[in-house]
């Protein structure tokens, strides 16, 4: 396959960026999108140009490091992560636009790499349980109803990639935060911090400068892990409950 790429290039956070056009040839439909970019970068290095910076780590869809808005879609046209997106989703001769996540809470570090540490600070505000450490507790000591366990698992699938923020017209982090809050709030292990968790994590989310939720649903459409839109309603319910209880 031969492709036309238009890629966002930006030297650093403060520099002006722009789209740059590249041609890549010899792309196999079985390559992942990141391997296609690797091919581009090899060409660039051989030509003595600076390679395109992009985030990646596991390349198997579980770490949440890869990002990229591809033709306007976070993680591209398939419901998966960019590392698991294959070039067979494109056609020979296509022009593909590649841009970084866009949100003021995710400043561009370089080219396609953005700083997502805002997510870490939301997690630090309450995405933990205060169980004593030590040897693993007996698995049956704390019974968890099956629907709660399922819900916790569903929300625990969030890999913190930030596609939800990138896709949201308001740069809102509600889907991510709701995944993290619901994951622990439905479990008995999360019960001691149930109220403070949701209040503190929502406050941290607001402090980081993410936008509010207008329930457009773009986040849930973009999420590679299928975190569903009703998770946001569930977090709102937790938040309102916590403000009523007001136990801080």
Choosing from 37, 225, 232, 238, the residue that interacts with ligand SF4 (CB under 6 A) is 225
Ranges within 26-45 binding another protein (CB under 8 A): none
Could you give the CA distance from residue 231 to residue 248 in angstroms, rounded to a whole number?
24
Choosing from 73, 113, 119, 186, the residue that interacts with another protein (CB under 8 A) is 73
Could you give the CA distance from residue 143 to residue 140 in angstroms, rounded to a whole number?
6
* Rg, Å, the chain Cα set: 20
Identify the DSSP state of 133. P
Q: Is 233 among the residues that bind ligand HEM (CB under 6 A)?
A: no
Q: Is 101 among the residues that bind ligand SF4 (CB under 6 A)?
A: no
# residues near ligand HEM by CB under 6 A: 2
Can you list the alpha helix ranges (DSSP code H) found in the chain?
33-46, 117-124, 146-156, 163-167, 174-185, 194-207, 218-222, 230-245
Ranges within 149-188 binding another protein (CB under 8 A): 167-172
Q: Is 71 among the residues that bind another protein (CB under 8 A)?
A: yes
Q: Is 171 among the residues that bind ligand SF4 (CB under 6 A)?
A: no
CB 181 within 8 A of CB 237: no
Could you give the CA distance from residue 73 to residue 166 in angstroms, rounded to a whole number?
9
Binding site for ligand FES (CB under 6 A): 56-59, 61-66, 81, 83, 159
Which of ligand HEM, ligand FES, ligand SF4, none sits in contact with 37, Cβ below 5 to 8 A by type?
none
Q: Is 164 among the residues that bind ligand SF4 (CB under 6 A)?
A: yes
Q: Is 159 among the residues that bind ligand SF4 (CB under 6 A)?
A: yes
Could you give the CA distance from residue 177 to residue 205 in angstroms, rounded to a whole number?
8
End-to-end alpha carbon distance in the chain: 59
Could you give the CA distance from residue 50 to residue 41 in angstroms, rounded to a whole number?
8
Which of another protein, ligand SF4, ligand FES, none sits in contact with 171, Cβ below 5 to 8 A by type?
another protein
* 84 three-class SS: helix
Minimal distance, residue 87 CB to another protein, in Å:
18
Which of ligand FES, ligand HEM, another protein, none sits in contact with 57, Cβ below 5 to 8 A by type?
ligand FES
Could you give the CA distance from residue 66 to residue 116 in angstroms, rounded to a whole number?
11
Choosing from 212, 233, 243, 245, the residue that interacts with ligand HEM (CB under 6 A) is 212
Which of ligand FES, ligand HEM, ligand SF4, none sits in contact with 10, Cβ below 5 to 8 A by type?
none
Residue 100 or 211 having the CB closest to ligand HEM: 211
Q: What count of other Cβ atoms lies within 10 Å of the Cβ of residue 26?
A: 9
* Helix, strand, coil fractions of the chain, as percent rounded to 5: 40, 15, 50
Residue ranges in contact with ligand HEM by CB under 6 A = 212, 214
**Contact residues: ligand SF4, CB under 6 A:** 158-164, 175-176, 179, 222-225, 227
């Amino acid at each position: 396959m031969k492709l036309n790429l238009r890629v966002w290039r930006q030297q650093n956070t403060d520099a002006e960026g722009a789209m740059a056009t590249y041609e890549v040839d010899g792309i196999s439909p079985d390559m992942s999108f990141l391997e296609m970019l690797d091919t581009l970068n090899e060409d660039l290095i051989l030509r003595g140009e600076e390679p395109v910076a992009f985030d990646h780590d596991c390349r198997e869809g579980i770490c949440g490091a890869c990002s990229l808005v591809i033709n306007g879609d976070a993680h591209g046209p398939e419901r998966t992560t960019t590392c698991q997106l294959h070039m067979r989703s494109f056609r020979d001769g296509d022009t593909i636009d590649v841009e970084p996540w866009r949100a003021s809470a995710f400043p561009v570090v370089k080219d396609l790499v953005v700083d997502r540490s805002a997510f870490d600070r939301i997690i630090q505000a309450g995405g933990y349980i205060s169980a004593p450490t030590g040897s693993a507790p007996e698995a049956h000591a704390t019974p968890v109803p099956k629907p709660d366990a399922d819900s916790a698992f569903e929300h625990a699938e969030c890999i913190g990639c930030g596609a939800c923020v990138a896709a949201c017209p308001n740069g809102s982090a509600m889907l991510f935060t709701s995944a993290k809050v619901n994951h622990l709030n439905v479990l008995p292990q999360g019960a001691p911090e149930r109220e403070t968790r949701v209040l503190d994590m929502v406050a941290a989310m607001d402090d980081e400068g993410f936008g509010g939720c207008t329930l457009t649903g773009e986040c849930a459409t973009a999420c590679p892990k299928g975190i569903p839109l009703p998770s946001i309603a569930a977090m709102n319910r937790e938040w309102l409950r916590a403000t009523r209880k007001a136990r801080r």
